[in-house]
Amino acid sequence: MKIQVSTLSFDLADHGGPVGDLFPQPLSAKDWEPYILSEAQVRDFQENGYISGIPLLSANQVDVLNKELEQLQTPGEKEKELFFHYESNESEDPDKVLFHAIGGWRITPGFHDLIWSPAYRMAAYQLLGVPFRLFHDQLFCKPARHGGVVAWHQDFSYWTFTKPMHHLTCWIGLDDANTENGCLYYVPGSHQWGLLPITGLTGDMDAVRGVLSEEQVRIFDKKVANELPRGYASFHHPLMMHGSYANYSERPRRAIVLNAMADGTLSNINNYERLEALRHFPPMPHDVALTSRHFPLLFKESSELESLLRAVPKVDAATLYPCKYNVLSSR
Ligand SMILES: O=C(O)CCC(=O)C(=O)O
Ligand SMILES: [Fe+2]
């Protein structure tokens, strides 16, 4: 990958834009058009809480990222300090492995520039409905044969150190993912269940059932497998119920996840009980907007894009991201 910036910072968070040419950037409003989600896709997201089958990476981009992933899985001491979270094996099952790391975008150029992917940015803008920032990225990698689970959860249950709830997750496959190698599953419509408590991420797959109503358990059984070819993505709502089973297959199942938040999202850290989990995160003073270089602005409504943005289908943000979760998260 060609690096455009003459001197690269060791911490790529110092660069508030792409540092290479892996993700060519639109030069005019017209160049954004191929990435616009249809009216029907936006409606599906609003109704079901997720959409899938979005092409995001070319074969070459996947190869570059998988190469860089090798570096992220064997980082030097100094590189490791840049991660907000790093577990080479977070699985609670001693016979399984789940690599989980947050902050890879600060370390290698490909993962850094991925957050600037135009396909990602246009879709995320339409599904959030407003200008947004990177919240953080997450690598979830399951090796062949003994890859661990990611238990059923809602992302926002882990994110109540921010407010209000106006976030979006993008899951991107770095391998073909299907039911054999531990693809993600969704429960359509579960984004309307309200905020549920944390029941664990890497232990008992089904722990969340203990906090669901009978009706929810019934709907839960209508889960759908999010099978995707590598380079394709799904997007889900911060209250969407999702999880992935073990990988017993002969293939790895690697994924990079991008989490975005509306520009103007505030820290709610004084109301957060799991401060230990944030010990490597940047300072986030309570009630102050998260605007530092660790949370780069990825999409703004510039004058150049104005007429295009008026025309693109967008979610009804007030319905989809109701402010009551602001109150709930301050309990
Ligand atoms: O990759 C997985 O299995 C889990 C991903 C996840 O929890 C997410 O995308 O929010
Ligand atoms: Fe998640």
User: How confident is the model over 127-183, as pLDDT tens digits?
Assistant: 999 999 999 999 999 999 999 999 999 999 999 999 999 999 999 999 999 999 999
**Counted domains in the chain:** 1
Peptide bond into 24 cis (omega under 30): no
Residue 331: is its pLDDT beyond 60? no
Ligand 2 centroid from CA 157, angstroms: 10
Ligand 2 centroid from CA 239, angstroms: 9
Residue at 9 is within a domain: no
**CATH number of the domain where residue 51 is located:** 2.60.120.620
Ligand nearest to the CA of 258: 1
Ligand 1 centroid from CA 225, angstroms: 13
Ligand 2 centroid from CA 242, angstroms: 6
Q: What atom of ligand 1 comes closest to residue 171's alpha carbon?
A: 9
The confidence score (pLDDT) of residue 302 equals: 87
Q: Structure tokens of 203?
A: 């232990």
Residue at 112 is within a domain: yes
Calpha distance 116→128 (Å, rounded)? 16
Residue 3: is its pLDDT beyond 70? no
Residue ranges in 52-205 assigned as alpha helix (H): 59-72, 77-80, 109-114, 118-128
Residue at 253 is within a domain: yes
Which band of pLDDT confidence, cut at 50, 70 and 90, is reported for residue 304?
A: confident
Tens of pLDDT, residue by residue over 10-54, are: 999 999 999 999 999 999 999 999 999 999 999 999 999 999 999
Q: Structure tokens of 293?
A: 């270089």
Q: What atom of ligand 1 comes closest to residue 153's alpha carbon?
A: 7
Residue at 7 is within a domain: no
Residue ranges in the chain assigned as alpha helix (H): 29-32, 39-48, 59-72, 77-80, 109-114, 118-128, 214-220, 306-311, 317-320, 324-328
User: Long-range contact list for 33-38, CB < 8 A, 24+ apart?
Assistant: 33/308, 35/118, 35/119, 35/121, 35/122, 35/123, 36/122, 36/126, 36/312, 36/313, 37/122, 37/123, 37/126, 37/127, 37/312, 37/313, 38/313
Q: Which of 91, 226, 244 to mutate to test the pocket of ligand 1 (most atoms within 8 A of CB)?
A: 244
The confidence score (pLDDT) of residue 325 equals: 60
Q: Which of 167, 173, 169, 218 is nearest to 69 (CA)?
A: 173
Q: Structure tokens of 21?
A: 């040419």
Residue at 26 is within a domain: no
Percent of the chain with pLDDT over 90: 93
As a whole number of angstroms, the longest Cα–Cα distance in the chain is: 59
Q: What atom of ligand 1 comes closest to residue 255's alpha carbon?
A: 1
Domain limits for position 199: 34-328
Q: Which residue puts its alpha carbon closest to atom 9 of ligand 1?
A: 171
Which band of pLDDT confidence, cut at 50, 70 and 90, is reported for residue 2?
A: low
Tens of pLDDT, residue by residue over 55-102, are: 999 999 999 999 999 999 999 999 999 999 999 999 999 999 999 999
Ligand 1: residues within 6 Å at CB?
Answer: 140, 150, 155, 169, 171, 184, 242, 244, 255, 257
Ligand 1 centroid from CA 215, angstroms: 24
Q: What atom of ligand 1 comes closest to residue 149's alpha carbon?
A: 3
The confidence score (pLDDT) of residue 324 equals: 65
Look-up of token digits 């820290």: 267
Q: Which residue puts its alpha carbon closest to atom 1 of ligand 1?
A: 140
Residue at 6 is within a domain: no
Residue at 285 is within a domain: yes
Residue 200: is its pLDDT beyond 90? yes
Q: How big is the chain, counted in residues?
A: 331
Q: Which residue puts its alpha carbon closest to atom 3 of ligand 1?
A: 244
Residue 111: is its pLDDT beyond 90? yes
Ligand 1 centroid from CA 171, angstroms: 7
Residue 327: is its pLDDT beyond 50? no
Q: What atom of ligand 1 comes closest to residue 155's alpha carbon?
A: 10
Which band of pLDDT confidence, cut at 50, 70 and 90, is reported for residue 329?
A: very low
Ligand nearest to the CA of 198: 2
Q: What atom of ligand 1 comes closest to residue 182's alpha carbon?
A: 3
Q: What is the mean pLDDT of the chain?
A: 95
Q: Which residue puts its alpha carbon closest to atom 7 of ligand 1?
A: 243
Average of pLDDT values for 295-311?
91
Contact in structure between 280 and 80 (CB atoms under 8 Å): no
- Higher local confidence (pLDDT), 5 or 280: 280
Ligand 1 centroid from CA 188, angstroms: 16
Residue at 51 is within a domain: yes
